[in-house]
Amino acid sequence: MMNTKIEPFILNRANSWLTGNFDEETKEMVKNLMDTNPTELIDSFYRDLEFGTGGLRGIMGVGTNRMNKYTVGMATQGLANYLKQMFPELNPIKMAISYDSRNNSKLFAKIVAEVLSANGFKVYLFDDLRPTPELSFAIRHLGCQSGVMLTASHNPKEYNGYKAYWDDGAQMIAPHDENVIREVQKITSVDDVKWVGASTNIFSIGADIDRIYLDRVASLSLSPDSIYRQQNLKIVYTPLHGCGRKLVPEILFRYGFRNIHMVEEQAIADGNFPTVHSPNPEEHDALNMGIDLADKIKADLVMATDPDSDRVGIAIRNHHGRMILLNGNQTAALLFHYILTRWKELGKITGNEFIVSTIVTTKLISEIARKFEVNYFECLTGFKFIADVIRKNETAMQYILGGEESYGYLIGDFVRDKDAISACAMIAETAAWMADQGKSLFDLLLEIYQTYGFYKESLLSVTKKGKRGAEEIQEMMVGYRENPPLTINNSRVVKIKDYQMLMVSDRITNTETPIDLPKSNVLQFLLEDGSIISVRPSGTEPKIKFYFGVKENLERKDAFELTEKRLDEKITCIIASMKLK
362-to-270, 381, 386, 458 alpha-carbon distances in Å: 34, 12, 15, 10
SS3 breakdown of the chain: % helix, strand, coil, rounded to 5? 40, 20, 35
* Residue 422, phi then psi, degrees to nearest 5: -70, -35
Helices (H), 193-287: 207-218, 224-229, 244-255
Decide: residue 474, CB within 10 A, 0-12 exposed, 13-18 middle, 19+ buried: middle
Q: Of 239, 331, 250, which is closest to residue 286 (Cα–Cα)?
A: 239
Length of the chain: 581
Residues 6+ apart with CB under 8 A from 8: none
Calpha distance 17→12 (Å, rounded): 9
3-class SS of residue 87 = coil
The Cα 81–Cα 331 span in angstroms is 41
Instruction: Assess contact for 269 and 240: CB atoms under 8 A.
Output: no
State the catalytic residue, choosing from 44, 101, 153, 226. Answer: 153
Give the sheet arrangement for strand 56-59, strand by strand. 56-59, 159-165, 146-150, 94-99, 122-126, 202-205
Which residues are 260's β-sheet partners? 235
User: How far is it, in rounded angstroms, from Cα 432 to Cα 337?
Assistant: 15
Cβ-in-10-Å burial (0-12, 13-18, 19+) of 382 comes to: buried
Secondary element (H or E) of residue 168: none
Preceding peptide of 281 cis, ω within 30°: no
Instruction: State the pairing for strand pair 122-126/202-205.
Output: parallel
Distance CA 268, CA 242 (A): 8
440 is catalytic: no
Q: Among all residues, which ones are annotated catalytic? A: 153
